[in-house]
Structure 1
Amino acid sequence: MPARPLLDVRRIYLEPAAAELPRGRQILARWPDAERVEVDSHWRIPELHGDETNVRRWVRIKTEALVLGVKKSLTARPNGRSADFIAPSTANGCAMACAYCYVPRRKGYSNPVTVFCNIEQITGYLARHVARQGVKPEPNQCDPVSWVYDLGENGDCSVDADISDNVADLISLFRGLPSAKGSFATKYVNRRLLDLDPQGRTRIRFSLMPAEIARLLDIRTSPVAERLAALDDFVAAGYEVHVNLSPVVVTANWLADWAELLDQLDAATSPATKAQLAAEVIFLTHNEDLHRVNLGWHPRAEEVLWRPAMQETKRSEGGQVNVRYRSGDKGRYVSELLALIEARTPWLRVRYAF
């Protein structure tokens, strides 16, 4: 059977104000035959955002439903790890269905894409925020020169770029901001992005993990081999390209699997790509509620994600119960992987690892 398309939009839930904006009209024109359902708020759509009732049709919802809303609160939150600031979202939710993803916890686990149609307000806010920062006073792990703004905290911008021009507008914005860069992580190779002329002002971070475990956990994403094959092309198109080695999932053969992936990364990249590539290394954090939901649609994933004998509990700021590898063991795992990176890809700068 052929793979189901990532998006086959048949029903669009929309806040009336979003449908009146130019971006809303653009999206509605793209799917003229989709059923339109007016809603008071993109946050409160029970038939989309329930957990247990939707678990068996989770992927269908992600494929067929789209939500149009208006972003009410515009703030750029300080970060300091991957980026200096988290930009206000131009979308949230995702058409992909990675088994470990933290994003669905915010809005119910089916969580299809919501596009915020007041893009002019969002880009205007960002331009003013960048102007207020002035020149970056000193280098940090985010970037030695530019302020870095994470653009895709609650989704995947490469997927969003197939829905509307929001991502193109963000790339255009940062192209004209010499003191700042946009940045987003992705598991989806969207070659339409190659035509957007970022001129080095957008950093795209391709997430990588060993192919075998990615086939189990990275549901509906681009294959890891396809992501590796895209790295040189995105550098040639003017993007700053980094990699996210994440999430690192510890299994019986995890170090051998990562050694193979690092060898593949070395073989896939040109000297020009290697010269500017950097990595973030992020070990798995899982969530108790997501674990329960996954048991209803993808229990095999939980065999490697939910390992109580290896994990300890950490309650999040929002009160949710998360699990991560036990602190003493995790420190050893991080050291082992960093040593492997140094041995297999000594040219790869690790920005941070945790």
Structure 2
Amino acid sequence: MSDLRSLLAIDTIYLEPAVEGYGRGREILARFPAARRIPVESHWRIPELHGNAGLAEDWLRTKRSALVLGVKKGLAMRPNGRSADFIAPSTSNGCAMACAYCYVPRRKGYANPISLFVNCDDVCTAIARHALKLGPKREPNQIDPTDWVYDVGENGDLSVDALLSDNVRDLVAMFRRTPHAKGSFATKAVNRDLLAFEPGGKTRVRFSLMPEKVARVVDVRTSPMAERIAAIDDFVRAGYEVHVNFSPVILYPGWEGDYRALFEAVDAALSEPAKRQLKAEIIMLTHNAALHEVNLQWHPKAEDWLWTPDIQETKTSEGGGVNLRYRAGWKGRWLARFKALLAEVMPYCEVRYAF
């Protein structure tokens, strides 16, 4: 079993001035008494981290050794409609892991170590008020039949965040006691500390899965696939709703056989209670031209899987970035084949959404 704590050896903390005025901020600082503290005006504007092209070649050291602490300013809920009803304000940004396809570095610069927000109480209060104002969910949808679902991990991985503070424990507790609300986050890490958080069926964990041969290259510093699969039953027994997240689906010669083997491994590992509650999301790879250039500096082998322009086409995003997606004429066929394979091996696994 992998040890998540080996991901972190914090020796430098960048912190906004207000951080030490929060109990959570003081708690986190006390965990790292020997760390160098560097005051910054904003967690978003740290010149030696963000936009520093020289850090691309030192990508992993930065993720291991640096931590950013700030105060979350915006507390609005964003409608989603895919994985969740709403995207909640994040209690973190960035990650200690280093998946080569991650979109966060596109927005945040060349290094995106974990940023933790110390006003988790404000986030919890905002979510609870929002859910109570909405009242009961009147009609079931593909997201959830009864609860309003809030994604609380859009820009990070809460399984790793839980190593650093009690923010995740507080979120799980808030959802447990809030009517009509359910939390949700995707993860590529197995943190068994979460098994003691008593979610009461009100937090959904989505374990991200892909064939191990691909994950060994592109899912850098994450828990092994077998460990993620083995954790599903344990998390269900602990009171979590557990779904799987086939994301991103990366196409290559032989992908069908590898995914069939993955589905068979999941099917063989799950208990009947886990199977009855299991659902899936399917997200085909979207890559990014700028991220491709960064990856070539620190992890070029990943680009052998991610950058395949012979079967991809470019599309300019709303923010002006150049993204690569699988060609429209073929993507639909490949997605249909993927869903057919899943239905053949795991007929009980409903696909909540796919794109």
Tell me which interval the TM-score lies in, with the shorter structure as reference length. over 0.9
Deviations 1:157-206 (A, max 9, x none): 10111110001000000000121100000000000000000000000000
Deviations 1:39-86 (A, max 9, x none): 111111111112521111110000000000001111110000000000
For the 8 Å contact 2:311–2:327, the answer to whether it is kept is yes
In structure 2, C-alpha distance between the alignment counterparts of 1:247 and 1:295, rounded to whole Å: 19
Q: Is 1:241 matched up with 2:242?
A: yes
Residue 306 (structure 1) aligns with: 307
Residue 316 (structure 2) aligns with: 315
Deviation at 1:117, TM superposition (A): 0.5
Structure 1, unmatched stretches of 5+, are none
For the 8 Å contact 2:7–2:96, the answer to whether it is kept is yes
In structure 2, C-alpha distance between the alignment counterparts of 1:127 and 1:347, rounded to whole Å: 33
What is the letter of the counterpart of residue 298 of structure 1? H
In structure 2, C-alpha distance between the alignment counterparts of 1:57 and 1:302, rounded to whole Å: 18
In structure 1, C-alpha distance between the alignment counterparts of 2:169 and 2:248, rounded to whole Å: 28
What is the letter of the counterpart of residue 25 of structure 1? R
Residue 152 (structure 2) aligns with: 151
In structure 2, C-alpha distance between the alignment counterparts of 1:150 and 1:74, rounded to whole Å: 13
In structure 1, C-alpha distance between the alignment counterparts of 2:352 and 2:36, rounded to whole Å: 46
In structure 2, C-alpha distance between the alignment counterparts of 1:19 and 1:42, rounded to whole Å: 14
For the 8 Å contact 1:206–1:244, the answer to whether it is kept is yes
In structure 1, C-alpha distance between the alignment counterparts of 2:47 and 2:59, rounded to whole Å: 13
In structure 2, C-alpha distance between the alignment counterparts of 1:141 and 1:262, rounded to whole Å: 22
Residue 17 (structure 1) aligns with: 18
Deviations 1:261-305 (A, max 9, x none): 000000110000000000001110000110000000111110110
Q: How does 1:83-102 map to 2 (within 5 A)?
A: 83-102=84-103
| RMSD between superposed Cα atoms in Å | 1.2
In structure 2, C-alpha distance between the alignment counterparts of 1:206 and 1:127, rounded to whole Å: 25
For the 8 Å contact 2:132–2:179, the answer to whether it is kept is no
Q: Is 1:111 matched up with 2:97?
A: no
In structure 1, C-alpha distance between the alignment counterparts of 2:302 and 2:335, rounded to whole Å: 22
For the 8 Å contact 2:242–2:277, the answer to whether it is kept is yes
Deviations 1:193-242 (A, max 9, x none): 00000000000000000011000100000000000010000000000000
For the 8 Å contact 2:185–2:204, the answer to whether it is kept is yes
Deviation at 1:18, TM superposition (A): 1.1
Deviation at 1:318, TM superposition (A): 1.3
For the 8 Å contact 2:205–2:242, the answer to whether it is kept is yes
For the 8 Å contact 1:209–1:224, the answer to whether it is kept is yes
Residue 334 (structure 1) aligns with: 335
Residue 286 (structure 1) aligns with: 287
For the 8 Å contact 1:97–1:219, the answer to whether it is kept is yes
Q: How does 1:30-49 map to 2 (within 5 A)?
A: 30-49=31-50
In structure 2, C-alpha distance between the alignment counterparts of 1:313 and 1:141, rounded to whole Å: 30
What is the letter of the counterpart of residue 245 of structure 2? N
Off by >3 Å, runs of 4+ in structure 1: none
What is the letter of the counterpart of residue 221 of structure 1? T
Residue 295 (structure 1) aligns with: 296
Structure 2, unmatched stretches of 5+, are none
Q: Secondary structure at the match of 2:30?
A: helix
Deviations 1:23-47 (A, max 9, x none): 1001000011100000111111111
For the 8 Å contact 2:131–2:179, the answer to whether it is kept is no
In structure 2, C-alpha distance between the alignment counterparts of 1:128 and 1:316, rounded to whole Å: 33
Residue 252 (structure 1) aligns with: 253
Deviation at 1:103, TM superposition (A): 1.5
What is the count of residue pairs matched by the alignment? 353
- Sequence identity percentage: 61
In structure 2, C-alpha distance between the alignment counterparts of 1:210 and 1:51, rounded to whole Å: 33
In structure 1, C-alpha distance between the alignment counterparts of 2:70 and 2:53, rounded to whole Å: 25
For the 8 Å contact 1:19–1:68, the answer to whether it is kept is no
Residue 222 (structure 1) aligns with: 223
Deviation at 1:319, TM superposition (A): 1.3
In structure 1, C-alpha distance between the alignment counterparts of 2:30 and 2:7, rounded to whole Å: 19
Deviates more, 1:108-117 or 1:82-91: 108-117
Q: TM-score when scaled to structure 2?
A: 0.98
Residue 168 (structure 1) aligns with: 169
Q: Secondary structure at the match of 1:233?
A: helix
Residue 136 (structure 2) aligns with: 135
Deviation at 1:317, TM superposition (A): 1.6
